[in-house]
Structures are given as C-alpha cells and as structure tokens.
Amino acid sequence: MAAFSSFLDILPDPSNKIGDAGQASGSGTAGPGFASIKFTSEQPSSISRTNSGRVITRAIVGQQWKIQISYNPMTREQFEPVYAFLQEKRGRLQPFFVILPQYSTPRDSTLNRTITTNAAVSAGANHFVAAGFGSGNGELKVGDMINFNDSNNSTHKKTYQITRVLTNSDYLTGGTQPSSSQRLYYVSPHIEKAVASGQGVVYTNPKFRVIMTSDIIEYSLGTNNLYQFSLNLEEAQP
C-alpha cells in the first residue's frame, strides 16, 4: 500500500481500475466494460423562415456530446465499484471523466509521436496547425478524438473530433499550406477556448468530462443475482 495524490476521477472500466481507497490502481477492481454505447453530438441551431420562404440558420454556441452506456448483466463484484463511484458524484452534482473504448486509441495504430500546437489558436476557430511530424511514427486521422493538454488553461476540458487533415501536399488552394513537419487539422466542434502555442494534443485515451443526466441512480437485480444497469451522461464543461 502507498500514499496517492488524488482519487480516480474516471468511470471504472477494465483499463481504469479502482482501489478500495478510491485511487487509480493497476491491481484494483475493474469495471465490467460496456455492452453498448450510444454516442450523440448535439449542435443547437436557430432556424427562421422569411415570408418569401428563405430559410436562415444560425449556429448556437454550445455543442455537447451525449453518451448512453449499457452494461451486460453483472455480478456484484463487477457492479459495486461502478455504483460506488457514481454514488460519490451525488447525482448531477459532481462531474467526472469517461474514456470511450472506440476512441481510446487513434485509427492509425502506428501513431507514436508528440504532437503540439504550432501557433496560438483562437477561441472559435475550427482548425489549428500542429507540429511534430516527420517520416514514420504514424498520423492522426479523420474521426480521431483529441483533448488539448493546455498548461496555460487547466479548465479547457473539451473533447474534439478531427474532421479534416491537410498536409504539405494536400491543402486548400489559397489557404494555409502546412510545412512537411506540420499538419492542419479541422475539428468539430469549434475550439471552445484559446490555446497557446506549444501545447500538447492528446490522442490516446482522450477523456470526456461528463455529468449524469439525472439525480436518480437505479439498478435491477434479478433472481439470478445479476445486476442490470445503464447510464446516461452528458458533457459538462468547467
């Protein structure tokens, strides 16, 4: 046993085990993993129609990821670490993180490099230039999820999805042409907070900061002593 610096704040799963003291522990109890995940992107918009029939649309700031998790029937040993973790969050009061298995690793399994922002990125931008590229070591691809490891802003917890990748050979005419050691990434949603130059781009185990959508946490226990449980979450930013 040893002292630890913080309690685990990631929903327990087979890759994020939790000890009885609430710490992250490689030898702790694993959550059971997810049977299925329903993943939703909600981007509010305002739509109006003129008398002539013209449709006018405007985006509303505040895209949100929503996550529904279903579990296979669980034994008590599998269920209790998850339930106790959620009880500590007191319904919708305290946010926590979840790592989704489909996004825990990038599409390119050979990707192994440090990627950083090449220049400051303004809040509201839909793209940024990244540095750290050369031959080999893989690439971020469309569909990969990322966080920014922003040493200047610890409250920037938003999760973004790569939607386009522009390179030195494939770039938009009249736009920015990345150098051979750079990539120009378009992301969705637009970048929520300004990011300074030289900040890390996290592509392995990107985390979603979430809260439960209800203050009620309930389960069903069958005559086979197996627990039935599901979880509805929505993204929650600081």
Interval 63-122: pLDDT, tens: 999 999 999 999 999 999 999 999 999 999 999 999 999 999 999 999 999 999 999 999
Query: pLDDT tens digit string along 151-173?
Result: 888 899 999 999 999 999 999 99
Q: Is the predicted pLDDT of residue 185 greater than 90, yes or no?
A: yes
Mean pLDDT taken over the chain: 93
pLDDT at 58: 81
pLDDT-derived band at 237, boundaries 50, 70, 90: confident
Q: Mean per-residue pLDDT for 219-236?
A: 96
Q: If 0-12 CB within 10 Å is exposed, 13-18 middle and 19+ buried, where does residue 66 land?
A: middle
Q: Mean per-residue pLDDT for 182-191?
A: 97
Adjacent-strand bridge partners of 209: 97
**CATH fit for domain 1-104+207-238, picks 3.40.228.10, 3.40.50.10330, 3.30.200.190, 3.30.390.50:** 3.30.200.190
Tokens of 230: 């599901």
DSSP state of 31: P
CA distance 75 to 83: 12
Q: Is the predicted pLDDT of residue 1 greater than 70, yes or no?
A: no
| β-pair type (45-49, 182-188) | unpaired
Q: Which CATH architecture has domain 105-204?
A: Beta Barrel (2.40)
Query: pLDDT tens digit string along 12-62?
Result: 998 888 888 888 887 777 778 899 999 999 988 888 888 888 888 887 778
Domain(s) of CATH 2.40.30.290: residues in the chain: 105-204
pLDDT at 136: 82
pLDDT at 101: 96
CA distance 173 to 127: 16
Domain(s) of CATH 3.30.200.190: residues in the chain: 1-104+207-238
Q: Is the pTM value of this prediction over 0.85?
A: yes
CA distance 111 to 140: 7
Q: Is the predicted pLDDT of residue 182 greater than 90, yes or no?
A: yes
Q: Is the predicted pLDDT of residue 217 greater than 80, yes or no?
A: yes
